[in-house]
Chain A
Amino acid sequence: MPAGDEPLVRVRGLRKEFDGTPALGGVDLDVARGELVVLLGLSGSGKSTLLRCLNGLHRPSGGEVTVAGTRVDRASARELRHLRTEVGFVFQQFNLVGRLTCLENVLIGGLGRVRGPRYGVSTYSRRMRAEAMAHIERVGLAAQAYQRADTLSGGQQQRVALARTLMQRPQLVLADEPVASLDPENAGTVMDLLVRVCAEEGLTVLCTLHQVDLALGWADRLVGLRQGEKVLDRPAAGLTRDEAMAIYRRVEPAAVAA
């Protein structure tokens, strides 16, 4: 890990409210380049909100968020769009356009690099199509390149979504529960692919998960959130399963004892 380097993600005192309901209450977080950080927490603990504040899909209500040198909390719409071209996002529900072919879905990842709207595979340059095809091959779905995305299984769809993220040539990948909608076997395959590809490309990854075992197996560092507050931030090495599970305790330890 490049010590002393400016972290790729730097969050200070991040607050986010939805119509007065607090979702994040002052979170600090640093992620160094090349690091793989897993965010753990119950649903509703603010994991997804935190990720979406990093690429500006949600506007922070307060605090500082710096990603790849851009101040997300005060960026203009144009700066945000530029930042997003460098930040890949993997969604729990894949968010593929079901009626389009896998290839076109992957090409959508390259939209940030071209000017003007596109519609249909043939509106993208040959070069981009070749690049997209290479990514589809890399996730092992070359034979399905021209199939409609909604004919694929969940695991395959998430692999297409991963290819779409690679097409973006990002520095940072934000993955929001990438395997929560998949069965255990597919979850393992997709997680394996995600981690392997990102490691090969030297990408920085911030991933939310709710399977502690997967998290302990893959992460460099674990960060736990509970009710919008950070309650854990430690390297994965040396962390026990029980210590990680403590994040999920619904109530304060004192109340449990009573």
Chain B
Amino acid sequence: MSETLTLPLWRRLCTTPLWDLVRGQLSGRLDWRAVVARANLPEPCADAVLQTVRKTRLWSRERVDVARELIGHFQEGLAHGRTPQQLVDDFGDVPMAAKLIRRAKLRCRPLRWQVGRWLNRAAAAALLLYLLWLVRVWWGRPSLETDYVAIANSHVKLAPAGEAAADDYRQAVATIQQWRKAHGQQELGYHDLAKTFDEDAWPQTVEMLRENRAALNQIRAGAAKNRLGQGATLPEGEQPVDEPPFLIAVSLAHLNDVRLAVALLEADAVEAADAGDAERVTADVAAILAAAQQLNESPFLLSGIIAVYCAERGYQILDAVLQDHPQLLSDRHLQQLAHRIAAYRPDWTWWFDTERLTYRDVIQRIYTDSGHGNGTVTWQGLQFLSDLADPDNFVMVSGDGPWTRRNASWGEKVARMLVGLSRTPPVLAVALADRQEMASMARRVYDYELRNWDQPLYADDPDDVDPEVDINHWSTDQRIRYLPLTLLVPAFDAARGLMQRVEGSRDGALIGLALEMSRRERGQWPTTLKELAPRWLPAVPVDRTNGAPLKYRVVGDRPLVYSVGIDLDDDGGTPVAPDGQHDSRRRINLSGFRGVAPDWADDGDWILWGESLPAEDDEPDA
């Protein structure tokens, strides 16, 4: 026995209970080795006690208790005449004794310790599972097997060189841009188009049009072709070598060419009307509608938005020409244009379907593929997703365009939060739904969003809301669980609002042409729209917002046809936009419409034909 009874100060300090210290006693009561040493047991017995107590790995206080009990046992045995060796032999296996004593003593500990022990075990188990999950995530690789860009472009009609309208638009726009540059004029941009009609700029615009007849002819020639010949492309140098291109990274640059070409046709129609050239006016308006029709080839909702924007420009320029030059267009021209307008069919189904490709492509980039429809999230997928969630990289959640969600700020908040989380992608790995669930939810969300896109607004059911799949009703948990959907699903309700408004404008254009033909034949405007059918229209369209007859008035010597708009309130022909002009860029959010005007609905009417009335005041109707 090598223990001494005099303990060093530090050892006494370490083995003195707090209560003794408070009382100023450096007792060293918890030094179980000293307790054994003080017992003066024969060495074999003392060793057995020391070994046993040491191996129990209990608290000091518990060890002291155990040591005292074992010492007492050996002392009793010695007092009863047993030899130390006999007692050690009877003692049994030291490690086993220590193990059993530890187990039993732990059961004697307080309940709060027991609870803490189980909580620690649970945390350790969770950590272990998490680490295993991370290993799985780390090892998983996304299976990029499908080229969704190719699918998105499957409606693009292959055209031999020179047969694609997109080439004509691109070349003609480039020619005119070069001419403007050479003449010290600013390059024509989408946001500057309205300025070309300003009184000050109009002479320059006319000069540009007269100097570029060939380019305008090329645009009209392009519109006469039945192929656009251009789909989504990747920006130069970004075509991946060993994997399918990323659908969301594609460029739709041709849309800008089409939009600019239509703007030039629009200006040319006004110039032609001023020059008394009815044939050119008719050709320009027909070309505008043909260009819009060609965009049926082009994928994604954005193509649809540009297409109907173009078509609406055609209706509006026709409206303006008939207002300023009522006698310019002959009945033949009017009939020709009416047939052209009636024939225009935007392919919303295709545009919406190609939007679904986006989530499919994103899913294949995030998850492994089990081959049975399921898969787990991958490390690469998480990195990809964190890039996608970065508002600096992704405009769909942060912009204010007509295709962004009304709650874009919400999306942005979530996105920013997840960018923060993505600094530690493992957190996201646990939160995200697996591949099967994600794909299933995506299908449900898209089906829900598109369930009634082609029905008029008045047919909407106010109770037709499913919070489980309506992203606008999702909780934060759901937004994180289905993050790709939170980020990617466009504001279909806004697109539908635009579609319904432009379809209304088409109804208005057809009614406007019928009104003009009726006036010419009868010498006066009809008193009601009903008089137009069936002589000039097969049937008079109704208001798409409420199913009632469209509003019709004669203001001055011009007819005014309008819808009451989604506030469902007749504002007497005062438009929604404050400047009194149709504004195609103004988003029409239908979230919460469902056939009942939401509180936030813009006050004002949708002007479908004729010059709108100026707003009397800015106060919304009660």
- Whether A associates with B in a native complex is no
Give B contacts to A, CB under 8 Å.
none
